[in-house]
């Protein structure tokens, strides 16, 4: 559907992590349905700056659904109502003229608020630092065809490697668990020959760090899978728990 529409926006405004917060109400009149929601926020911020008010703070970078920088709740849903879509790729044509959109930041103990819709997701970096990598020195890059990997095995590893670390799974979980994120990071390494060294240690270390960072445990509500913009299966969480019990090679 082409044309324009008007939207009512209720946006969480909080100038500092320790300061008070409240919803601000705004209206966008006759803006293009072809704009993304982030572009609509750009329009709003231009209006706020022109009026001498503080613009809305939100995270963004590539705006192509690749980097995982952006993310907030739209009417209580991580990244909004469209499945397999990051908020930067959520276009206004998904909404109706006159709709009210309530925008909230990710809310999780491990994601302290910075300002408005922006949160600190450094805890995800700490999870990667605990073991989401291969530390074995393999020397020079090996010949690409020197290690044979089956098509299905490679495709499965790639499916889990598509995780962009946006944090939607954490924000949507009633326990604020990072289990799907950790499972994806473990699975894309463990399914390939290059990831076999340190495999068991990696799984235990990342799961221990998840608890240390204040993430909750998984209770199998599957909201993480429902909101994941890359549609990573929650089946990998069960696999992750088995992985942590493996005997070291």
193 domain residue, yes or no? yes
Apex 129 CA angle, 127 and 132, nearest 5? 75
- Verify that 220 and 140 share a domain, yes or no: yes
- Verify that 90 and 128 share a domain, yes or no: no
Q: Lowest mean pLDDT: which of 78-87, 88-97, 131-140, 186-195? A: 131-140
113 domain residue, yes or no? no
- Verify that 192 and 97 share a domain, yes or no: no
Dihedral Cα 201, 206, 212, 216, nearest 10 deg:
-130
Please state the rounded mean pLDDT for residues 106-132: 97
pLDDT in tens, 8-58: 999 999 999 999 999 999 999 999 999 999 999 999 999 999 999 999 999
Q: How many CB atoms lie within 10 A of CB 22?
A: 7
Range of the domain at 224: 122-244
**Distance between CA atoms of residues 143 and 236, nearest Å:** 30
- Verify that 143 and 95 share a domain, yes or no: no
- Verify that 99 and 136 share a domain, yes or no: no
126 domain residue, yes or no? yes
Q: Which tokens hold the place of 26?
A: 């705004």
Which domain CATH number covers 232?
1.10.1060.10
pLDDT of residue 138: 60
pLDDT of residue 244: 81
Q: Please indicate whether residue 34 or residue 141 has the higher confidence score (pLDDT).
A: 34
- Rg of the chain, C-alpha, whole Å: 20
111 domain residue, yes or no? no
Dihedral Cα 45, 49, 53, 54, nearest 10 deg:
60
Total count of domains within the chain: 2
pLDDT higher than threshold 70 for residue 248: no
Secondary structure (3-state) at 241: helix
Give this prediction's pTM. 0.93
pLDDT in tens, 196-211: 888 999 999 999 999 9
Report how far Cα 80 is from the mean position of its chain's Cα atoms.
12
Where a domain ends, among 45, 72, 104? 104
Provide φ and ψ at 117, rounded to 5°: -95, 5
112 domain residue, yes or no? no
- Verify that 138 and 240 share a domain, yes or no: yes
pLDDT of residue 37: 98
pLDDT of residue 245: 80
pLDDT higher than threshold 80 for residue 188: yes
Which domain CATH number covers 83?
3.10.20.30
């Amino acid at each position: 559907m082409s044309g324009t529409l008007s939207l009512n926006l209720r946006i969480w405004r909080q100038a500092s992590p320790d300061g008070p917060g409240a919803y601000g109400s705004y209206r966008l009149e006759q803006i293009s349905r072809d704009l993304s929601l982030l572009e609509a926020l750009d329009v709003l911020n231009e209006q706020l700056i022109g009026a001498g008010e503080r613009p809305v703070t939100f995270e963004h970078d590539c705006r192509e659904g690749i980097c995982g920088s952006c993310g907030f709740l739209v009417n209580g849903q991580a990244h909004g109502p469209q499945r397999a879509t990051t908020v930067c790729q959520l276009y206004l044509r998904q909404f109706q003229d006159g709709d009210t959109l309530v925008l909230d930041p990710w809310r999780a103990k491990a994601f302290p608020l910075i300002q408005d819709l922006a949160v600190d997701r450094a805890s995800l970096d700490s999870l990667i630092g605990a073991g989401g990598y291969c530390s074995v020195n393999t020397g020079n890059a090996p010949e690409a065809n020197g290690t044979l990997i089956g098509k299905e095995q490679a495709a499965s590893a790639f499916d889990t490697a598509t995780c962009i670390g946006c944090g939607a799974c954490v924000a949507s979980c009633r326990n604020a668990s990072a289990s799907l994120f950790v499972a994806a990071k473990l699975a894309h390494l463990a399914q390939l020959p290059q990831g076999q060294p340190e495999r068991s240690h990696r799984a235990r270390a990342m799961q221990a760090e998840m608890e240390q960072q204040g993430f909750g445990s998984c209770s199998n509500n599957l909201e993480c899978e429902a909101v994941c913009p890359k549609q990573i299966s929650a089946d990998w969480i069960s696999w992750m728990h088995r992985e942590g019990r493996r005997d070291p090679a």
